[in-house]
Structure 1
């Protein structure tokens, strides 16, 4: 295959699953001999949340005060300004991973600055605002080729569009996410006052599709059995407005007498660096990830690679890539079922079995394999021939 220049577009520079996917995918593509350049609007000017072994472009963006529609429109416009010249569009393939990038590329296609684009759908959001819903639909409908990270989403979208969609999956970097303890583990424990136990880890902040409210109800039940238990809520950077759901979660915490703060029953960290994330996985006793809606659930692979048992919803996409003994499967609508899984994860024999099965499952998901699954789609969309590469 010829070497390609690939523009990868994501929605932000923050530590979210889709952004992490783009960086790792681009690194793997570069290792295969291509030049994959990750782009993202960057109103903070601080760059991406982690360094990466691939080119990165922080697209100039202004802070926006207003509604989510105002913010998304501004970010689409940021991309349009960046790619306004032919020089900025000097890529063989354009690959959007979000509705923001997809809408910008659709407009560039109509302006004949690019011939078309690839769109990876990680998941679909349910927007009550018709403008946001239309933007999401347009970013998919006008793509030249579609990819999905799970079969469930591929089948759902294919049913609407009448076309088959390849599934590319996800990967995990075993050189970063591993079970062997490091100095960072003790630092994380001391910084956040993680001296109780057991420790339940939740990734994604207070967000409805992550089922944070259900996790809180389950954790309250766990505390009746283990009064020193702590819930650590990591992450939460998002372009969408989750304030009302966050308020609901905080009201639930208050109703259960669960105090939020360093060393308290509930610790809310906000976004953390990639250097710290493996330490959180290793410090915790179980990952609670009973999501209502998920594209793939990248943090599940990361947790398993670090030896952490995972609780996941008994529904796709988890049932696609995990076997029954890889994780603890629960009904996301039943807090007692989630609480029972939290308790089960603490039993030594159960933990040992989940550690072995989870580690083996994580090892089957490499970013190189994920990158290779993109190449046929890229070849179909590439607009020029370049020098051949050999891998």
Structure 2
């Protein structure tokens, strides 16, 4: 149930996740026992004079094979008796409203990333979503550099056996060193919330979803090669973590195309694996699945970005493979030209501080800084992978 400021005009209520392709879990939003009109999926009309809306959430028990975190569902873990509440599929927001507050009333513990006060949690107004957990939680805490991190797991013992908290700690320390939070971000906003969600290896995939300060991370259950599945989990986790820390490092909103955000996060998801103690052959196999410098791209990333913006979602996977290969080649050239004294890590702050061009090209100041080190080798890579 949500109280809204009174108004003499109709307003719009929105479920943010529907616009991102997620499935609504809302049941019959209503005001004074009257269902709200829904002119299109994910949108409802809040009639003039109405300031209290209630709705149900279709929370399903987690099946035996687990839940795919990329679906960002609100679910119930019936064996441990706790709930995952996903804002993008379950919480209505008033269009244009500033940050909201969620109050959870119920038994057991509750946890989110953004505390407002005891029993109350902040809900961001736009951008990245948030996730919350309550009930019989397996909760742990770590202080990792500038960040405090809370963990909730569907199987705390299983997660510990896979050493996922230890691996995440190493990954976060590495990423925080190259992407420190902006000085304007207070200590309370340097709090992160990680939810570990197991998924059966037979489902053939493991996902992740980065929120504003919280994120969902699948780990694979029942795999014969646990080292390979753990490497996959860590790669996904570091990818999502990169998105979060990159946003927290900025002092202002920077315009960047989808190809750049996803390819950079994926490259650093792979690069972070080197900080782990997982077997080198396992890491090389996973890296080789995405980074393939010997492959000649059919189209540049700029052309692929245009197709994506026009609605062609089939090119998205190339942002992960071709895009990550582009950054890997730039990183390799930087290390070679500087006798391993410099890498892409050193240029990240410059890249993330400036807007990309309207056509999706790299910021000119970033290109200029790279060219001073790489000369014509940079142009060869830009033509091959970006098509410019």
More strand by share: 2
Larger radius of gyration, structure 1 or 2? 2
Please confirm whether the aligned pair reaches a TM-score higher than 0.5, indicating the same fold: no
Tell me the TM-score normalised to structure 2 length.
0.27
Tell me the TM-score normalised to structure 1 length.
0.27
